[in-house]
Structure 1
Amino acid sequence: ADLLEAEVCAARSSGHCNTMGTASTMGTMVEALGLTLPGASAIPAVDSRKKVMAQLSGRRIVEMVREDLRLSDILTRQAFENAIVTNAAVGGSTNLIIHLLAIAGRIGVELVLEDFDRIGAQIPLLVNLMPSGKY
């Protein structure tokens, strides 16, 4: 019974790996950067709550336009550091590095490989899952 329950929990939904691979990591990253509503990245692809989250997200985008809130206001150095901290804590995919460097470069935030080492070394691993972790 325990093994069956573990297998069912491991195969979370369509659209992602059963490890902390690229899809899960990137979902976590966009939430840590502040680019999604809180909790959006935790909703499985085939879950009916996705539609509700999409509607809420659309409303928020309209509000952001009215507030003149721009991507450059959200994607600050602090936001990138938060994404690095989050990834280190959950043992996310190393693919995050190339994506964060590319996004930071595009938006004009200075971010270098050494930042990942410096910040990541200070963070305890909370979720010891593959591909970065043991399980």
Structure 2
Amino acid sequence: MEQGRRVRRPGKLTTLLRLLREVPDKVERDLSRFHHVRYSDRWRYDDAGVPLLTLREIWVRIVDLPGDSAIAVHENGGSPRWGIAEYLLADIWAALSGQPHAARPKSVAHKAMTAAFRRATARVEARFERRRKAMGTDT
């Protein structure tokens, strides 16, 4: 991608309408499971004629669902999204075994973070080595 060029992503409404068209059952399941809201209220009104559930209210409820929600699993190719705990455990695995965890998702952000971590680790190790040599303790 050229530097300075923005990547255009679908907007909130476009994304919501796509989900409602492709996987309405998953939207209904997540609204019920996590928010105790009936998806069928989208077509119901109270006595004053106000909708019981609007598209915006649906979006607000599904935008930050946990990684094991039906929508998150659908959007992640059938696998639950990893959370902080899973990434930390995979990093501990990698540190102890010397090899990356096979199930760890590969992402551009993670690769950049890993490269930065390696550079920081190399700086710390070099500083430690200089101090060790200065103290005259070769082991």
Shorter-chain TM-score range:
under 0.3
- What TM-score do you get using the length of structure 2 for normalisation? 0.26
Structure with more relative contact order (C-alpha pairs < 8 Å, separation 6 or more): 1
